[in-house]
Structure 1
């Protein structure tokens, strides 16, 4: 476990992989699947209620004063990523197939991570307050921007987002989030003090969504259509996506001569994508039997980014320690 932790794999990631395996080998069927669907719906609603009750608007306002860091982070998340996604779809779309293309486009318009990007920024000695603000604003905007950008990109002939998906987004994500913001003065302190409760809801919701998505894919026979060659190609395209984003975001920070601490925050906030936000949004946007395949690129990207960022942040911390010692 110590070795796995050093390369970015923790117990939760192992549980996540076990949950995927359970969805593939022991899927929920019939009544159990219906119950799971309802439980997952309310778990996602509770998750976004807690997101709303945790996000302090004053912290966001304070961080926005660093306009270059915040502007570049948002541009990386909601401009650079979608453009690269469209480029990769144009290059590899015919080889990947329609569902994988949907997954790549969905990945491209998601907000950045919160906990991971802040943690890696802290380890690497970056601007932690700036990272907190950048990640928070990204996720706040993502509640609205991600569904809107999905609808815009899917006009390209890959499908569309119907009225029922808009209603689900409103009732399952936006409404709970707004209610959480309204309840923040009353329960915000309680939620911040009881981090274990919020962690159980956060991670438990993700596990429910993952099991439900992969279970539905198994029951529908979706996975029988995904060959080893297709999966290998998808891994390759996602890794190219990750490498391109990290190279371009890093180059932007250096080219615009940001302070070192801001470059670090930009790198980790601008090159990561949120599994915690992406999975709930996917359940509201797409049919249950499609979700597993659509979020597969996100799952690959998320786990890959954790491994790469863990290694890079540790190396950066070691370099800073050596400079300090000298």
Structure 2
């Protein structure tokens, strides 16, 4: 099977490299920061308009699947992220270790979970609801877990909570409320709007890495430290797949439900994680904090495509 490079991943890598070597600084960077804040708010508004409340309520019948997926995302992974902190400073530098923990706190993806579940002939409706619930709850759970477990990095005070509510939750709720009016238009223009989704995430990456380059954060890192975080992300991904598949078997799930859990439990959302990170964390360290999430996202896309095709070809 031949894997084509994902244009989104290529764009993310290009944005990170350009911002590292030719960063935007000064007043121009301040303008870009404000633009990215508006872009994030609109991004979560679009998330709200896409999530069908009726479909979510109907899909809650598969509550065992959703409970297993949410437990994997918000209990098993955070515990593993805490264990990874023991690798500091011998294997991971402090910012990268914190980034690994942040990776373990973000919600699951929606699009890739659903696509891979469909390819593998799994429970597509269940994956839609599980991934959507993960993202909806992630608006609250990810900041709460970061405040609890990342006290040295996250500054979650009353002003931070207000920023989270205004920048993430309010646009999401507004999208839900306006869905009856704009839902059909959104569905007709879904392809164009997904281009906006990706462009806004690329902008967030560019701003984060520009801030990092302006503060010379890469001088504190070595090639060995970056290779180490790549290895740690690979181990985390292997854990996510193995745990999710094994948990589905232990709970007696049908094969379609096990497939849905496999992808919903192991995937981590760059689209939701990066905006949340920019709200929770400030300063030049954001680039290093989100680097593990970017690496993990690329790995899960490649590995997920291979697994989905193999599961599709396997006898039921």
Which stretch of structure 1 is more off in the superposition, 98-107 or 163-172?
Answer: 163-172
**Match of 1:25?**
21
**Match of 1:114?**
110
Out of 216, 222, 226, the position equivalent to 2:221 is 226
**Match of 1:196?**
191
CA distance in 1, matches of 2:276, 2:216: 23
CA distance in 2, matches of 1:191, 1:17: 29
Out of 85, 88, 95, the position equivalent to 1:93 is 88
1:265-307: CA deviations, max 9, x gaps? Answer: 0000001000000011011111141211100110111111111
- TM-score norm. by structure 1 comes to 0.93
Which stretch of structure 1 is more off in the superposition, 216-225 or 10-19?
Answer: 10-19
Out of 78, 100, 103, the position equivalent to 1:104 is 100
**Match of 2:30?**
34
**Match of 2:2?**
3
SS in 2 for 1:295: helix
Out of 236, 242, 249, the position equivalent to 2:231 is 236
**Match of 2:285?**
290
Superposition map of 1:178-189 within 5 A:
178-189=173-184
CA distance in 2, matches of 1:308, 1:215: 30
List runs of 5+ in structure 2 lacking aligned partners: none
Q: Is the 8 A contact 2:114 2:128 kept in 1?
A: yes
Superposition map of 1:16-165 within 5 A:
16-90=12-86, 92-95=87-90, 96-155=92-151, 160-165=155-160
CA distance in 2, matches of 1:87, 1:253: 23
1:199-247: CA deviations, max 9, x gaps? Answer: 1220111010011111111111011111111111111111111112211
CA distance in 2, matches of 1:194, 1:288: 36
Q: State the shift of 1:3 in Å.
A: 3.3
List runs of 5+ in structure 1 lacking aligned partners: none
CA distance in 1, matches of 2:89, 2:15: 31
Indicate the RMSD between aligned Cα atoms, in angstroms.
1.5
CA distance in 1, matches of 2:242, 2:32: 41
- TM-score norm. by structure 2 comes to 0.96
Which stretch of structure 1 is more off in the superposition, 183-192 or 122-131?
Answer: 183-192
